[in-house]
Structure 1
């Protein structure tokens, strides 16, 4: 994956996540990109299917998939971005 995409996904996550939340969905990230395409020029230019693939790959590389940490359905596109103390996770190896 191109590093520009990776950086734009991370930027979208940090802008889209609410201060009180620890989880973010692919839908929330997509919504952020759709609302502010000028902030995410690389991702905004991709097809919807391509953008979803890029978001999923980048998020899996950066954050823990929520279904792995809580045992929910593996098809859910939700990631744990913050830990219990509110710190942003930096690597998928960070576990509870």
Structure 2
């Protein structure tokens, strides 16, 4: 089903602790241009576990359209946050 290099992707934040969507998109382009076979968003790196559900939706809502079917995308669904569940 899946094969090749599918790295977990870190999430970049700005100085105010907000998700930096421009930098995340730039990093995604770098990964794709480098030849990865897919990506794992919101999984296996630690920062995703402290995001609210709303922040996760914003992140995916920005990154998945940007990826635009250029590579397969896996999404982690784990959650440890008890606040901000919408």
TM-score range relative to shorter protein: 0.3 to 0.5
Structure-1-length-normalised TM-score: 0.34
> Is the helix fraction higher in 1 or 2?
1
